Amino acid sequence: MGGLLIYTCVDLFDKYVQHTTMANIKVELVNELPFPAITFCNLSPYKKSSLNPDAVMDHFLLTVSRMKDFVPPIDYDHPGYSSLSHPLPDGWLLNVSFSVADLYYACVNTTNQRMNCEDVLTPTITDIGLCYTYNSQNVGGNDPLVTSLTGSAKSLAFYINVNQNEYVYSDNLAAGMKIIVHDPREIPDTNSGFFASPGFSVYASLTLTKYKYLPFPYPSARGRYCLDTEAPGFQNPLNYHDMYSIYACIQECKYHYLVKLCGCQAPTDTGPERTCTFREYAECYRNTSRGDYLHSIAFQETCMCDSPCEFNVYGASASTAYFPSNLNEIFLNNAGFENLRTDYMEVRFFFDTLSYLNVEYIPEYSIETIIATLGGQMGIFLGASLLTLSELVEFLMMAALLACKRAFQRRRK
């Protein structure tokens, strides 16, 4: 019994020092929910009339698009393509991109009141071009936007004109918007999101999941430790992002790698380095950034980017309907709207319920748990030992008395 007790003590101590955790998952019902940030990116990264491409630029755009296999490669040393080796002017990306007025003709809040789109949409430079974000919150910015309304009847709505006649050749063969729903304090992850097509009304039902991991010494993922960004003395290790996130950290890591390799940055980068010429972008920066290595786990592990201990993940489940209906199309055509099927769309965002999924990790073995377990084990093991000992003593005493009695009776005979 004593050996089993010692084994149990050693086993519990070994599990405690491993700092294992378990997930406590539950649905929380609340009176209001924090509204996410919503980033819209037109699938054409540049506006044709602003870019004003000549034959050389058209050829360049084709060679860096999905159509590259159908056109001959560019001879950058040919005098006719010398303009592709010229440095880009400051603010080039902003000058050749779509503006808010180009894309949004109506923005309606959850109480069905029309908003000024230029007031509520913030320009956001991403790796796929200039996008616009609703409810973008910087550190120390405005109070977070919350909602207590549910259902599609009380949804946030955007009416968008993608302007297909202003499209240029790019990585996307489709027309429409890429929409990313994310935490207002974080930059949009352009690897996620969903697509909305002109000619359709998109209803996006939102969900929220809150994650809370334990800080050091409890491991969180792949044996690494999370970064406690809510600690009083926390200092953001990133240089070009106000809010730390694992995606922002990986983006900065890619930036440093590409700048070191190519000697310049892309027009969509926000760092201090020199902007690449079109030739440098096509020959080095783009080929490297689209390669397998920068999208592999091996590269991400070299970045040493730890996940925050607390973060929110927003999701969106999209459904579509034909837009506009035949009746509304006639009315809008009479009001001066053209190309409704090929250029216009409606996108709505709403929560179905005032609830969120809370995923919180807790220690599998705490001091209190170990004390309680040891107390129970000691009660079982030591209790069994004392009982056995008392019974053994009682048996020996009774056996001795019986032996003495029999011996006494033999002597009397």
Give, for all 413 residues of the chain, the pLDDT tens digit: 556 656 666 666 666 666 778 889 999 999 999 999 999 999 999 999 999 999 999 999 999 999 988 999 999 999 999 999 999 988 899 999 999 999 999 999 999 999 999 999 999 999 999 999 999 875 445 677 999 999 999 999 999 999 999 999 999 999 999 999 999 999 999 999 999 999 999 999 999 999 999 988 888 776 788 999 988 889 999 999 889 999 999 999 999 999 999 999 999 998 899 999 999 999 999 989 988 899 898 998 899 899 999 999 999 999 999 999 999 999 999 998 999 999 999 999 999 999 999 999 988 776 666 666 666 666 666 555 556 556 656 777 887 887 787 777 776 65
The answer to whether residues 39 and 62 belong to one domain is yes
Secondary structure letter of residue 88 according to DSSP: P
Please, are residues 241 and 223 in contact by the beta-carbon 8 Å criterion?
no
Bridge partner residues of 316 (DSSP): 206
The CATH number of whichever domain residue 51 belongs to comes to 2.60.470.10
Question: Domain total for the chain?
Answer: 2
Bridge partner residues of 308 (DSSP): 227
Which residues contact residue 75 at a Cβ distance below 8 angstroms, ignoring those fewer than 6 apart? 81
The answer to whether residues 233 and 349 belong to one domain is yes
Predicted local confidence at residue 268, as pLDDT: 93
The answer to whether residues 6 and 63 belong to one domain is no
The answer to whether residues 56 and 72 belong to one domain is yes
Which residues contact residue 380 at a Cβ distance below 8 angstroms, ignoring those fewer than 6 apart? none
pTM over 0.95: no
The answer to whether residues 319 and 369 belong to one domain is no
- Of 310, 190, 195, the C-alpha closest to 250 is 190
The answer to whether residues 387 and 238 belong to one domain is no
The answer to whether residues 7 and 119 belong to one domain is no
Q: Which domain holds residue 403?
A: 2-16+365-412
- Rounded CA separation 320/200 (Å): 6
Q: What angle, 0 to 180 degrees and rounded to 10, lies between the N-to-C axes of helices 367-412 and 2-17?
A: 170
The answer to whether residues 380 and 356 belong to one domain is no
Cα→Cα distances 71→7, 60, 76, 85, 124, Å: 73, 10, 15, 20, 32
| Tokens found for residue 102 | 């180009």
The answer to whether residues 201 and 286 belong to one domain is yes
The answer to whether residues 326 and 375 belong to one domain is no
SS3 category, 149: coil
The answer to whether residues 245 and 381 belong to one domain is no
The answer to whether residues 324 and 352 belong to one domain is yes
Cβ-based neighbour number of residue 3 at 10 Å:
8
